[in-house]
A and B are shown apart, each in its own frame.
Chain A
């Protein structure tokens, strides 16, 4: 293989990092992996028996993770390794944060998570470090967020690995409940998801009657050198969020495509550009307006470019209701929302 091919490979990989990094594992495509059939039994029984989770009652438990793999968790996990920012947030929200012994370097919320040892980066998992921590549960990211090779390796070493990947907002609820079962915090998980569900339904209902819905382009990333524009994929998590927030979302038109050609975007003519900013991508609205060809958009001509903090919007975790509220205030600033619960 020639070096130019390899360079092309590197370029493609950079694109992937930008896109996936921006989505913070929000995942965006129809994956061959079946979405998780939930294991039902512990949910009902544990919730009914007592409000404080009784240890050992639900364990050992066999779960089906988001890739369809059966995972047996022998006892209530005391040493958890969380390999994605979203699962770290979920575990903390479930009250299992004090049982996390290590995370990946992207886990930045809640603040307690930052201090935890990092055993993975975006590029790789340090299997040796994970093994040395003697975890009784590893929570990994699907859709390639955690390298498949590392997951296989850990499973070969008899460490239970639950792979989490939410293709949709509903999927996040399922993931939270799945991790609830895995960590013996099912009552907390069900109360959390029902609160999230009702809050998001209420926010969504508040803008449901609004019309006409503006054509919203959620700017995931932009390559100044090539002019490549990264956008929500069709049917993606992010597209669903924008739709729930009362926007007419502009997508790439394909579940597996993360880039939208400028011509197509001009044809779609966004009326509102939402700039998803994070530590790796934070252009100013002025810089966005000056991008070559972008003055063709109604949004740019009217100055409707709104930066938002994208972590809560794209990270499939317990802060999604906050993300949804952020989106609604960007799209429908005049709609008054009830205070967050």
Chain B
């Protein structure tokens, strides 16, 4: 890239157009950012671990190569059992939520849609609250009642909204959105009541609501990964349907898209990705709402670009925010993400002179 040409473009106010014409550049930048957060995320933390040691741990664990650096058992655990699964989980969740968000926004033709728009968040939270309040300790390979009920709650509420909201023709979208809001309100009331009576257990419910990656582990990562990555890939494979529906149901129908069937499948896939993400990391906001918008601002609305780049950007953003949260002293990751991400988003919005529509 010629710096001079770029500078001239910026002066001419044409940066957005320049970028938009080069989605590969955006993709490349995002991939580099992702790799950078991977390296930094594993290398940094509240305890100082020398880069050589980090490297040695990973080499010995992955390839069974000993590079002659002494590793203490503590270092090994910190790098391999704490940091690496946490960074990868952050990436997985960020990817899943960003793809789900982009899907819901496109399907519902609503810029304020996020992965939780179908009452998923309240459903998961009620499930988690019930799990916390039940005096049952049930753990199946690192998955407790909380994970199970959060997952089930998220899926059940999405299913309920989908059934009640119907998938009729005209006006169907508004009905679906409002049904999501109404079901979400009922569940939120149940949740508030559960929190009110929870006494000392309140804290556990609250930390679920804040979301966080402190509970990441290899087992949880490996169980959630197929669900999230699988759903994301299946959604990407249906990018054409998503593009069509952005034009409106009638236009999509003219393009030969079976609108109600495709919408059902896409909603189910996006809900699955959301539910899996929520079950292992609680309610993490922002990434699912804002990342798809940022990506659309950069590369335009075509789904075959928006979905994969959102996936990578969501992964990079959440793992970077989690790193920030860990370094500051384990503050909620959503706080860091919104504080750092929102100004960036505002600048992008402000700069987009061409206007921005979904």
**Taking beta carbons and an 8 Å cutoff, which residues of A are in contact with B?**
1-2, 5-6, 8-9, 12-13, 16, 20, 27-29, 31-32, 121, 123-124, 126-129, 131-134, 143-144, 147-150, 152-153, 156-157, 255-258
With A2-B188, A156-B142 as contacts: A147 and B203 at CB distance below 8 Å: yes
A sample of 24 inter-chain contacts (CB < 8 A) reads: A5-B188, A5-B192, A9-B195, A16-B203, A20-B203, A28-B200, A29-B199, A126-B329, A128-B47, A128-B326, A129-B47, A132-B47, A132-B75, A133-B74, A134-B72, A134-B73, A144-B201, A144-B204, A147-B203, A147-B207, A149-B215, A150-B214, A152-B215, A153-B214
With A5-B192, A9-B206, A32-B135 as contacts: A127 and B214 at CB distance below 8 Å: yes
- Beta-carbon contact of A157 and B121 below 8 Å: no
Chain A residues with CB under 8 A of B188: 1-2, 5
CB under 8 Å from chain A, chain B span 177-234: 184-185, 188, 191-192, 195-204, 206-207, 209, 214-215, 217
For the complex, give the distance between the alpha carbons of A104 and B77 in Å: 22
- Beta-carbon contact of A13 and B203 below 8 Å: yes
Residue of B nearest to A142 (CB): B200
Chain B residues with CB under 8 A of A27: 200
Chain B: interface size category = 35 or more
CB of B46 closer than 8 Å to a CB of A: yes
* Cβ of A238 to closest chain B Cβ, rounded Å: 14
Interface string of B305-320 (1 = CB under 8 A from A): 0000000000000000
For the complex, give the distance between the alpha carbons of A296 and B73 in Å: 63
* Cβ of B78 to closest chain A Cβ, rounded Å: 5
* Cβ of A10 to closest chain B Cβ, rounded Å: 8
CB of B125 closer than 8 Å to a CB of A: yes
CB of B82 closer than 8 Å to a CB of A: yes
For the complex, give the distance between the alpha carbons of A214 and B202 in Å: 33
Chain A residues with CB under 8 A of B283: 1
CB under 8 Å from chain A, chain B span 302-351: 326, 329-330
* Cβ of B260 to closest chain A Cβ, rounded Å: 28
Among A129, A131, A147, A257, contact of B199 (Cβ-Cβ < 8 Å)? A257
Residue of B nearest to A23 (CB): B200
For the complex, give the distance between the alpha carbons of A27 and B125 in Å: 25
For the complex, give the distance between the alpha carbons of A337 and B231 in Å: 72
Q: In the A-B complex, list the 3 residue pairs whose CB atoms are closest, starting with the nearest.
A: A32-B135, A256-B199, A132-B47
With A153-B215, A156-B217 as contacts: A126 and B142 at CB distance below 8 Å: no
For the complex, give the distance between the alpha carbons of A126 and B185 in Å: 35
CB of B271 closer than 8 Å to a CB of A: no
Chain B residues with CB under 8 A of A144: 200-204
* Cβ of A174 to closest chain B Cβ, rounded Å: 19
* Cβ of B48 to closest chain A Cβ, rounded Å: 9
For the complex, give the distance between the alpha carbons of A150 and B203 in Å: 13
CB of B151 closer than 8 Å to a CB of A: no
Chain B residues with CB under 8 A of A8: 192
- Beta-carbon contact of A1 and B202 below 8 Å: no
Given contacts A1-B283, A144-B204, A256-B197, could you give 17 more A-B pairs where the C-beta distance is less than 8 Å?
A1-B121, A1-B122, A1-B191, A2-B188, A9-B209, A12-B202, A28-B200, A31-B200, A124-B330, A127-B214, A128-B47, A129-B47, A133-B74, A147-B207, A148-B204, A149-B215, A255-B199
